């Protein structure tokens, strides 16, 4: 029998379960490109329920406890005295979500001799030290595609929020004002702008498809070029590298994984090479950008706006400068944990666990690390053994 440590974000301060705004979530038929939805043998929750917090336990409690496994669910994840760190020494499986990441550093992996499987309930496994997982033969898996569309929708929203100056305009209403000129002085149409994505994987491509009807000029870069037919269909211009891309756009949306090639890519120098008044939306990972370089570029006017939902560390301290920098439209890390997305990644987590306990292979597309090397999606999107990938990892 296995011991599973599940690290999830805390319950709503208003109590659990919440009063739901709607009575359910639509069932989508599948993912773009034909990948099928998660297919566990059963579900012990109703799609649309809040399962990503501690009381929700990803809907896994009955399934795991009836099979005789030990389940520990906690949100106490940081520091040597945290419950997560106390439970690690005899944990067989760790599950956490990028929104409330249980940082599985090399040091923590060394303290977990029984650990064999680390599941990311969501997408993006940079909170796990992949080199250490490779060295120890730990399998790392995530629920590929589960929240890709959710994130693409959030990026569309934040691009529009920045370009159209939504947040300050909303604030004038709440404050009792009607200051049209103050709102309009920083508001533009997206139509006609050059819009680029840094990485056109599942999320980046979904964003390109959603932005095409806005009559913008689309651009992208990716280490793997899209098929010619897709470039033609989307009328999107390929750039061989990020340097060429950022010079050509007014709006840039970041969708690459965090790994040594992308760590701190957006520094003072790269930001200075962008058009004055560019907008950046980053729903990928915070450490792709240099924190203080973003603040300085907003203060100087080099950037007209920055938005996204990813921070470092998570949760960020109360005095994190991104909370108060000018012209931002940040949210907490929520784009991929809508109730719609939770239903899919909770089901995918259960599918992985069912396969693992039955000794069946985990779907190739869910794999990041397996058999002591990058595997599946991990092989396509990450690099290993190339040095620093995160302030939290080494």
Active site residue 333: yes
**Residue 148 annotated as lining a ligand binding site:** yes
Q: Does 142 bind ligand NAD (CB under 6 A)?
A: no
Tally the C-alpha atoms within 13 A of residue 320's C-alpha that lie toward its C-beta: 16
Q: Which two tokens stand for residue 353?
A: 């666990």
Beta bridge partners of residue 73, listed in sequence order = 6
- Answer for which of 64, 294, 310, 367 binds ligand NAD (CB under 6 A) is 310
354 phi, psi to nearest 5 deg: -60, -45
Contact stretch for ligand NAD (CB under 6 A) within 43-51, 68-76, 117-125, 164-172: 117-125
Active site residue 314: yes
Signed CA dihedral, 205, 209, 211, 217: sign only: positive
# residues contacting ligand NAD (CB under 6 A): 32
Catalytically annotated residue among 285, 327, 328, 344:
285
Cβ neighbors of 88 (< 8 A, separation 6 or more) are 5, 94, 108, 111, 112, 115
Q: Does 261 bind ligand NAD (CB under 6 A)?
A: yes
Contact stretch for ligand NAD (CB under 6 A) within 37-45, 100-108, 252-260, 363-371: 252-260
Q: Does 283 bind ligand NAD (CB under 6 A)?
A: yes
d(CA 54, CA 69): 18
d(CA 294, CA 264): 11
Q: Does 262 bind ligand NAD (CB under 6 A)?
A: yes
Name the residue nearer to ligand NAD (CB basis): 58 or 200: 200
The site map against ligand NAD for 181-220 (x = CB under 6 A) is ------------------xxxxxx----------------
Contact stretch for ligand NAD (CB under 6 A) within 35-43, 44-52, 166-174, 256-264: 256-264
Q: Does 343 bind ligand NAD (CB under 6 A)?
A: no
Name the residue nearer to ligand NAD (CB basis): 202 or 363: 202
CA angle 127, 130, 131 (to 5 degrees): 135
Q: Does 367 bind ligand NAD (CB under 6 A)?
A: no
In whole angstroms, how close is the CB of 42 to ligand NAD at the nearest point?
26
Catalytically annotated residue among 127, 333, 350, 363:
333
Active site residue 299: no
- CB neighbour burial string for 316-328, b if at least 16 within 10 angstroms, e if fewer: beeebebeebebb
Q: Does 127 bind ligand NAD (CB under 6 A)?
A: no
d(CA 301, CA 58): 43
Number of H helices, E strands in the chain: 14, 13
133 phi, psi to nearest 5 deg: -65, -40
Longest pairwise C-alpha distance within the chain: 65
Provide the annotated active-site residues. 147, 285, 314, 333
Q: Applying CB under 6 A, which residues contact ligand NAD?
A: 122-124, 147-148, 151, 199-204, 221-224, 255-258, 261-262, 283-285, 309-310, 333, 335-336, 377, 381
């Amino acid at each position: 029998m296995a011991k599973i440590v599940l690290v999830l974000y805390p319950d709503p301060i208003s109590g659990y379960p919440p009063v739901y705004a709607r009575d359910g979530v639509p069932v989508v038929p599948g993912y773009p490109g034909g990948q099928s939805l998660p297919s566990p043998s059963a579900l012990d929750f109703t799609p649309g329920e809040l399962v990503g917090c501690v009381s929700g336990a990803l809907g896994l409690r009955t399934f795991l406890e009836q099979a005789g496994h030990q389940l520990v669910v906690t949100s106490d994840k940081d520091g040597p005295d945290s419950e997560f760190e106390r439970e690690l020494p005899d944990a067989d499986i760790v599950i956490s979500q990028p929104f409330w990441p249980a940082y599985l550093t090399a040091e923590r992996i060394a303290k977990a001799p029984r650990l064999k499987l680390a599941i990311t309930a969501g997408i993006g496994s940079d909170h796990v030290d992949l080199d250490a997982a490779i060295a120890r033969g730990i399998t790392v898996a995530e629920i590929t595609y589960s929240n890709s569309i959710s994130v693409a929708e959030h990026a569309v929203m934040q691009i529009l929020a920045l370009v159209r100056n939504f947040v300050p305009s909303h604030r004038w209403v709440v404050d009792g004002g009607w200051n049209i000129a103050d709102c309009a002085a920083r508001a533009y149409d997206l139509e006609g702008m050059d819009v680029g994505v840094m990485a056109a994987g599942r999320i980046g491509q979904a964003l390109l498809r959603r932005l095409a009807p806005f009559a913008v000029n689309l651009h992208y870069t990716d280490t793997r070029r899209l098929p010619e037919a897709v470039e033609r269909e989307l009328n999107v211009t390929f750039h061989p590298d990020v340097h060429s891309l950022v010079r050509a756009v007014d709006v840039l949306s970041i969708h690459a994984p965090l790994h040594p090639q992308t760590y701190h890519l957006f520094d003072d120098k790269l930001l200075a090479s962008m058009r004055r008044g560019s907008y950046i939306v980053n729903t990928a990972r915070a450490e792709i950008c240099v924190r203080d370089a973003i603040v300085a570029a907003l203060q100087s006017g080099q950037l007209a706006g920055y938005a996204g939902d990813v921070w470092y560390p998570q949760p960020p301290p109360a005095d994190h400068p991104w909370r108060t920098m000018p012209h931002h439209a940040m949210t907490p890390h929520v784009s991929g944990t809508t109730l719609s997305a939770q239903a899919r990644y909770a089901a995918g987590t259960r599918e992985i666990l069912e396969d693992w306990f039955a000794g069946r292979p985990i779907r190739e597309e869910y794999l990041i690390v397996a058999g002591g090397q990058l595997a599946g999606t991990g092989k396509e999107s990450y690099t290993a053994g190339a040095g620093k990938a995160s302030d939290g990892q080494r």
